[in-house]
Amino acid sequence: MRLDLATLVVADQDEAVAFFVGALGFELAEDRAATTDDGRAKRWVVVRPAGGGTGLLLARADGPAQEAAVGHQTGGRVGFFLQVDQFADQHARMLGAGVRFVEEPRREPYGTVAVFLDCAGNRWDLIGG
């Protein structure tokens, strides 16, 4: 058993793809037309970390409740954890790509960590050695 996808509600799927693929280095795994349960057109967009792993379904917010959740899916906590092998290299690359870090890197028993915001404002930990 494995967790294949997690949904990230976003306001703009193109902006989200640009962020995850361009700034974070994820791979665009799927981008296709689909329909909602009630027959409306939608877009199915999945990104995955380079090399595989759990993907993110970048779902466009549909309605007021989902629009209110954009950027606040975990109530302001860090809700996503991006593990990298070369922290300093990845941190520098992400800074150069315009990723907004909300703190300086710090050492913890589990590695070096810094919190950044995704394109919607959700908080992520970048963690590595």
Q: What is the pLDDT of residues 73-99, one digit of tens each?
A: 999 999 999 999 999 999 999 999 999
Please report, for the domain that includes residue 18, its CATH number: 3.10.180.10
**What one-character DSSP code corresponds to residue 61?**
P
Report CA Rg, the chain: 15
Question: How many structural domains is the chain composed of?
Answer: 1
User: Residue 37: is its pLDDT beyond 90?
Assistant: no
User: Residue 23: is its pLDDT beyond 90?
Assistant: yes
Q: Is 122 helix (H, G, I), strand (E, B) or coil?
A: coil
Cα–Cα distance, 116 to 120 (Å, whole number):
11
pLDDT of residue 36: 84
Q: What is the pTM of this model?
A: 0.92
pLDDT of residue 92: 97
Classify residue 72 as exposed, middle or buried by CB count within 10 Å of its CB (0-12, 13-18, 19+): middle
User: Residue 5: is its pLDDT beyond 90?
Assistant: yes
Q: Which domain holds residue 118?
A: 5-128
Vertex 2, ends 87 and 81: CA angle to 5°?
A: 25
Q: Is 53 helix (H, G, I), strand (E, B) or coil?
A: coil
